[in-house]
Structure 1
């Protein structure tokens, strides 16, 4: 009973340490991970390299695949780009296995203590995050040490060693490795446990071989779960991940049955823990080298399995954001951005339709404006809910500032949408009272709204590309202000010369109040972005 308690406690410490180390690495990396993935080129080799680097940084292929599925769902990455990243993620995750072969039993408690001291007493965030990494790293090895001590007596237990020996059967070993990894959702954790068993002499490499292959299939459960409620392409990413690892497992199983692969790996080193880490590394590198030239074939197979196309924008639904996955911060921020862009697009559409209706009444346009306003309000509510929930996650400074920014920008977009809707209501009032603008007034309205639409486009592109050119945006803002002042003065002159009447003049002034408020909110969206990097 004591051994079981120690084993469970050690396992809990091991998983906790792995989680803390990964969390610290992700927080220390800041928004660089998102920037790296978002600016990915279409070069397949660069994709694999980036996937490997990101995974090596955060020590979790599961986290990388979840991010990748989220980015594909948000249309930031293509299916082909995502597949290359996942191949790289499989290579990057082997770093954990290699680290676990280090013998640092004596210094692990000291590393844990230093990490905890940094977390508690250091003020600067980046040093706190570094402390979290050290704390997690030390705790991980302490957990391994406790597990090792707990299982030592089992080395003499014939029933237990016989049970492990069964895993030398390819089918049993692969299934056991896949099932256990699917339960704990970490191939690195399963590999760590196998390395612990190997270090205490409980398991031979021949028994661990197929268990390691199975872990690579079991780890796919995370990408499968993260693809629920996402787009067709995001689901295809998860399917491609499964196909990749199943193919690699089949190839390595055939190699092991036909060629002396196991004796060959054993000839490299007599240390069983190192043999397991080497196998884990070799599996992912060799499988990537074999499949990378055929990545387009993998794309086509995934399309055969997940058929059909995504529905077009139907308005009252989230297209790029999965509310259930709010705890996955990086893909959630990407989804929030894409949904914010949708809101901005609907708001611009309402401005255009409202002004066109103002110039020439059309009942169909009025109905579309009503629907668009409903969509804007819906998106604002849903984005706000997810953003507020995400702000309860463990966030670094930049992630928190990004979420705060999108919370404010959505409020600004919702307000400028309201003003576009107010223009439609203004038109309804004018139409019912038979109030009309003069031809000169109509030309002025066309001119100023043209500039406002250009400002909309620049803000949209800036938000999409994460790069605001405040000089360019300010120029549009200044020009719109000048036009508004000039046109209002012209309206007064038309009233004096009786070209226009008082009611039309009042409506004209209200219209310009709404247009200037729209300008103000576009300016707010742009200016507030600068606060992220202050």
Structure 2
């Protein structure tokens, strides 16, 4: 029978595309249905490495991507939500969670793929309910996964007749390390271990590979999936690079152990296949699951050692932002609302300092266009939003207690200050988005415009710093200087707008670049306004203290 190479390639490539889309679409549907709970799961249930393993498993099952879980984990480590040791537990759990896809593939429901796709489509197009939409995504993705797998299987059937493929399988059988390399390289290319293991399941089901040849390829697939995390960590934080390296080490060490035990492991999987009457796809799924579970059990006691190794290999201090509130102990609310207000004020000052650091990072991003500054600014903005909610809830709890007139006024001032700090974070995020727009559209600001914006950045940051210090130390003179500096910011805004119009008229500046310039100026002016609000709160508090002391 003559081989139709074109049909074979088209079916395989098309099937692979549908399979990858199915996994992604199903994962997105599950993620949307779960909402913000995924991050909460990783935040709350990683108090120790064992809980981290369970949390990593659960989240990976929900989003159908170990790389996605690793990326979430890296973000949480950078944000100070979890330690590197806890993150290693999550990464181990992610490796176990990703085996679920192989078990799903092992269930023989290929013939029902199209009806499942139809059911998913009906949920998406005929229902207005958001939950039904998310459920439709899950069904559609689930069906597409099997439909793509079926197409890939049809495309791979003629492979056994190809002499080159036969020679490769003979070579891999004689040299298992070659199988590991083939699995690693193919997964690096496809960027999905679920896809390459799915292909491996089909090849094994068709008799194109023997078990002793398939297992080294399986181990290589697990190494290959770590490359995604490695690529994602390039140029990012120290914590991100350490987490990515742990992911690589975990799978490489596991592969070395199982390659040493390859002959007994092959016999064990063969025994399972016969005794449990497993189909070929489920046999590979069991081999994959046992590999990752055993690997986790073996390496789990050495988490501290892995953390120590990666810390030594990747040196440097990482700038960790602590998202967790440090001063909001609920005990103070019960014991003394007045003390609780003081603790809330300390947390507000800490949040304000994060907002100032965020504006400084936004300035660095504007000047250098280095992504690390944008990432740090956005992490800071995320931290500000998280702390804003916690502070607001704490202040609400305080308001339920009986407060003196002076404490009531201080409470109102703190509520307003919290709102102002959160808004500063929003304006800092706006500036990051404007610089992103500038980079995306390759817009260039004139040297004059660049210098003017840097001057305004400097004045705004100085004003914000004075406002924070006035709140922190209850410094009336600093609060008054903030109001004077903000007047300078307002004058500068008007002056820069006039200069910008002159540059536009003279053709020294393009319209799109001008939009970036004017919007950054506007956001800096708004940061100045919020700084004044904080300073005026301090002045208002001083006036209240004088009033109450006179009344006494």
Shorter-chain TM-score tier: 0.5 to 0.7
Is 1:261 aligned with 2:305?
no
Task: Kindly indicate whether the alpha-carbon contact (under 8 Å) linking 1:204 and 1:272 is maintained by their aligned counterparts in 2.
Answer: no
Q: In structure 2, what is the equivalent of residue 178 of structure 1?
A: 184
What is the deviation of 1:225?
2.0
In structure 1, the residue corresponding to 2:110 is in which secondary structure? Answer: coil
CA distance in 1, matches of 2:154, 2:130: 36
CA distance in 2, matches of 1:323, 1:18: 33
CA distance in 2, matches of 1:122, 1:41: 37
CA distance in 1, matches of 2:384, 2:32: 25
Q: CA, structure 1 residues 340+276, in 2 after alignment: closer, same or farther (shift >3 Å)?
A: same
Is 1:297 aligned with 2:297?
no
What is the deviation of 1:165?
3.5
CA distance in 2, matches of 1:123, 1:388: 34
CA distance in 2, matches of 1:334, 1:28: 24
CA distance in 1, matches of 2:70, 2:126: 34
The C-alpha deviation readout for 1:476-509, integer Å capped at 9, x for no partner, is xxx999957756879999xxxxxxxxxxxxxxxx
Is 1:32 aligned with 2:32?
no
For 1:484-495, list aligned pairs within 5 A.
Answer: 486=544
Stretch of structure 1 that moved more, 168-177 or 380-389? 380-389
Task: Kindly indicate whether the alpha-carbon contact (under 8 Å) linking 1:205 and 1:272 is maintained by their aligned counterparts in 2.
Answer: no
CA distance in 2, matches of 1:310, 1:17: 37
The C-alpha deviation readout for 1:379-410, integer Å capped at 9, x for no partner, is 44455559999xxxxxxxxxxxxxxxxxxxxx
Q: In structure 2, what is the equivalent of residue 247 of structure 1?
A: 253
- Residue 131 (structure 2) aligned to one of 123, 126, 135: 126
Q: CA, structure 1 residues 490+284, in 2 after alignment: closer, same or farther (shift >3 Å)?
A: closer
What is the deviation of 1:106?
1.5
CA distance in 2, matches of 1:277, 1:292: 22
Task: Kindly indicate whether the alpha-carbon contact (under 8 Å) linking 1:25 and 1:129 is maintained by their aligned counterparts in 2.
Answer: yes
The C-alpha deviation readout for 1:42-71, integer Å capped at 9, x for no partner, is 322111111111111111111100111111
Task: Kindly indicate whether the alpha-carbon contact (under 8 Å) linking 1:205 and 1:275 is maintained by their aligned counterparts in 2.
Answer: no
Task: Kindly indicate whether the alpha-carbon contact (under 8 Å) linking 1:376 and 1:417 is maintained by their aligned counterparts in 2.
Answer: no
In structure 2, the residue corresponding to 1:308 is in which secondary structure? Answer: coil
Q: In structure 2, what is the equivalent of residue 420 of structure 1?
A: 467
Task: Kindly indicate whether the alpha-carbon contact (under 8 Å) linking 2:49 and 2:87 is maintained by their aligned counterparts in 1.
Answer: no
CA distance in 1, matches of 2:378, 2:319: 22
In structure 1, the residue corresponding to 2:245 is in which secondary structure? Answer: helix
For 1:388-399, list aligned pairs within 5 A.
Answer: none
Task: Kindly indicate whether the alpha-carbon contact (under 8 Å) linking 1:48 and 1:84 is maintained by their aligned counterparts in 2.
Answer: yes
Q: CA, structure 1 residues 194+324, in 2 after alignment: closer, same or farther (shift >3 Å)?
A: farther
CA distance in 2, matches of 1:164, 1:179: 16
Q: In structure 2, what is the equivalent of residue 49 of structure 1?
A: 54
What is the deviation of 1:425?
7.9
Q: Which runs of 5+ in 2 are unaligned?
A: 1-5, 321-353, 390-420, 439-459, 471-476, 486-536
- Residue 23 (structure 1) aligned to one of 17, 20, 28: 28
Q: CA, structure 1 residues 72+137, in 2 after alignment: closer, same or farther (shift >3 Å)?
A: same
Q: Which runs of 5+ in 1 are unaligned?
A: 345-371, 390-412, 432-478, 494-534
Q: In structure 2, what is the equivalent of residue 274 of structure 1?
A: 282
What is the deviation of 1:137?
0.6
Q: In structure 2, what is the equivalent of residue 362 of structure 1?
A: none
Q: CA, structure 1 residues 21+418, in 2 after alignment: closer, same or farther (shift >3 Å)?
A: same
Q: In structure 1, what is the equivalent of residue 294 of structure 2?
A: 286
Task: Kindly indicate whether the alpha-carbon contact (under 8 Å) linking 2:117 and 2:142 is maintained by their aligned counterparts in 1.
Answer: yes
Q: CA, structure 1 residues 325+277, in 2 after alignment: closer, same or farther (shift >3 Å)?
A: farther
What is the deviation of 1:186?
1.4
CA distance in 1, matches of 2:16, 2:176: 26
Stretch of structure 1 that moved more, 246-255 or 417-426? 417-426
Is 1:58 aligned with 2:63?
yes
Task: Kindly indicate whether the alpha-carbon contact (under 8 Å) linking 1:105 and 1:145 is maintained by their aligned counterparts in 2.
Answer: yes
In structure 1, the residue corresponding to 2:81 is in which secondary structure? Answer: coil
Q: In structure 2, what is the equivalent of residue 206 of structure 1?
A: 212
Over aligned residue pairs, what C-alpha RMSD do you find?
4.2
Task: Kindly indicate whether the alpha-carbon contact (under 8 Å) linking 2:46 and 2:82 is maintained by their aligned counterparts in 1.
Answer: no
Tell me which of the two structures has the higher relative contact order, counting C-alpha pairs closer than 8 angstroms and 6 or more residues apart.
1
Task: Kindly indicate whether the alpha-carbon contact (under 8 Å) linking 1:70 and 1:335 is maintained by their aligned counterparts in 2.
Answer: no
Q: CA, structure 1 residues 149+482, in 2 after alignment: closer, same or farther (shift >3 Å)?
A: same
The C-alpha deviation readout for 1:236-277, integer Å capped at 9, x for no partner, is 1111111111100000000015xx221221121153322211
Task: Kindly indicate whether the alpha-carbon contact (under 8 Å) linking 2:27 and 2:63 is maintained by their aligned counterparts in 1.
Answer: yes
In structure 1, the residue corresponding to 2:361 is in which secondary structure? Answer: coil
CA distance in 2, matches of 1:27, 1:332: 26
What is the deviation of 1:428?
8.2
